[in-house]
Amino acid sequence: MFLHSVYFWLSNPESTDDRAALQAGLESLRGISAIQTAYIGTPAETRRPVIDHSYDLSLVLAFADKAAHDVYQDHPVHLEFVAECKHLWSQVKIYDVDAK
């Protein structure tokens, strides 16, 4: 299994329209068949010093393997999402895990 976790900081976090647009863009990724499971969310209400709550939205995708992840990266729906939504975020961080 290969996990792809993406954390987004909105350029305008006070804008409900921007938040909704990014959420819709993230939802569009669910249609990519290489994805086994997709989770979209916001920071949980957990409060410990080691937890980062500074992001606005997150995306966690599970793939069968790195090859499936690579298919996703070049998929037209993913490329369209980036092109149409990149103006909405000021920062993005990605953590990939090769789960054994």
Confidence class for position 100, pLDDT limits 50, 70, 90: confident
pLDDT of residue 94: 98
Using N-to-C axis directions, what is the helix angle for 66-74 and 76-85, rounded to 10°?
A: 60
pLDDT of residue 23: 98
Beta bridge pairs of residue 93: 7
pLDDT of residue 6: 98
pLDDT tens for each residue of 27-73: 999 999 999 999 999 999 999 999 999 999 999 999 999 999 999 99
Domains of the chain: 2-46+53-98 (3.30.70.100)
pLDDT of residue 11: 98
To the nearest whole percent, how much of the chain has pLDDT over 70?
A: 100
Residue in the block written with tokens 């249609």: 31
Number of H helices, E strands in the chain: 3, 4
In this model, does residue 96 exceed pLDDT 90? yes
Q: What is the pTM of this model?
A: 0.94
